Amino acid sequence: MGFCDCVQNDGRGEGSMTDTLDAYLKAALTSRRPDRQQRLNHIGVAVATDSGNHIVAAVLHASPAFAAGLLRGDRPISINGAPYHPVYSFNPEPPALPEPDQRSFRLVFERSGEQREVELRPEFNNLLDSYRSAVEPSVRQFGMGNKVVGYVRLWGVSRNANDLVMLQKVLAGFRNTSSLIVDLRHAAGYLAEEHLALFRPTDQSDYYSSPMALIIDRTTTRHAESFARQLAILDRVTTLGAATPGGFHPDLTVPWPLASSTPGDPQFEAALALLGGLI
């Protein structure tokens, strides 16, 4: 399984995209030029390939796919009766550029060997902005007896100062939690010292000081992987999930193969159980 991780130029000087969502995301991450942060119609999923078939690898919180009930492991089959394609089911093929499409689309997908159908309407955005917009909707708090465990998924963080303010606001909302799960799977964007300062002792006095569990896997790369390595130095932080591409192995290995039919999210459930035993 894997993603094409490249951007190609077709001679028009605008940096034409390949036919993968990952290429659009990488272009938004690596260039501040608006013509390389091309917006497109999409439903808010990361997609991998399995034996030539598409498979949902992740679903952004508050996205059209999330609202429609799509889950990791679902296999999209068709859109409005035509074979599903992550990009071209909702956008024209090059050299035409994507334009907003407000139509509703009928998606047929397979889950656990059974075909299902949902109707959804894509959003028009550059993918990094969609990842950034998914962070706050991911926030949850779970009661465990008389304790509360917080959860946030850092889908996307940019260098924009507004993103740091957003994370400060999110962490302030966890002030009364006993522990916190920070999910770094599919994390995109920029995480650096100013973000680490929200989670560890520095000259800044206001930081999250309770036990934490970090969920990592093969999609935790670059800035997110470095972020996890630096937080893992703290005694109150436990990492779990699967090894990152850079060779960072979690304290607790919890497999979750993409093709697994296991219901729920075993890595998240393991993090919740771990913190339940710590607090």
**For 194-218, what is each residue's pLDDT tens digit?**
999 999 887 666 899 999 999 999 9
Above 90 in pLDDT, residue 234? yes
Q: At 36, is the pLDDT very low, low, confident or very high (cuts 50, 70, 90)? A: low
Q: Can you tell me the mean pLDDT for 132-158? A: 95
Cα torsion 164, 272, 64, 83: sign: positive
pLDDT the model gives residue 101: 95
CA 60, chain centre distance (Å):
6
pLDDT, average across residues 107-131: 96
Evaluate whether 125 touches 21 at the Cβ level (below 8 Å).
no
**Which DSSP symbol is given to 229?**
H
pLDDT in tens, 68-92: 999 999 999 999 999 999 999 999 9
CA distance 74 to 116: 10
Gap between the Cα atoms of 21 and 64, Å rounded = 15
Statement: the pTM of the whole predicted model exceeds 0.75: yes
Cα–chain-centroid distance for residue 193? 21
Residue 12 has pLDDT above 50, yes or no: no
Tell me the C-alpha distance between 130 and 152, whole Å. 16
The domain covering 134-278 belongs, at the CATH homologous superfamily level, to 2-enoyl-CoA Hydratase; Chain A, domain 1 (3.90.226.10)
For residue 14, pLDDT beyond 50: no
**Hey, what are 229's tokens?**
């390595």
- Do 126 and 135 contact (CB within 8 A), yes or no? no
- Of residues 90 and 259, which shows the higher confidence score? 90
CA angle 31, 64, 99 (to 5 degrees): 50
**Ramachandran angles phi, psi of 237, nearest 5°:** -110, 130
Average pLDDT over residues 22-33: 84
pLDDT at 33: 65
pLDDT score for 146? 85
CATH topology of domain 21-128: Pdz3 Domain (2.30.42)
Number of residues written out for the chain: 279
What's the average model confidence in pLDDT over 103-110? 97
Provide the pLDDT for residue 204: 60
DSSP 203: S
Average pLDDT, the chain: 90
Is the pLDDT reported for residue 139 higher than 50? Answer: yes
| pLDDT for the residue 202 | 72
Would you place residue 35 in the very low, low, confident or very high pLDDT band (cuts 50, 70, 90)?
low
Task: Using CB atoms within 10 Å of the CB of residue 262, give its burial: 0 to 12 exposed, 13 to 18 middle, 19+ buried.
Answer: exposed
Tell me which of 50 and 58 has the higher pLDDT: 58
Q: Where are the domains of the chain?
A: 21-128, 134-278
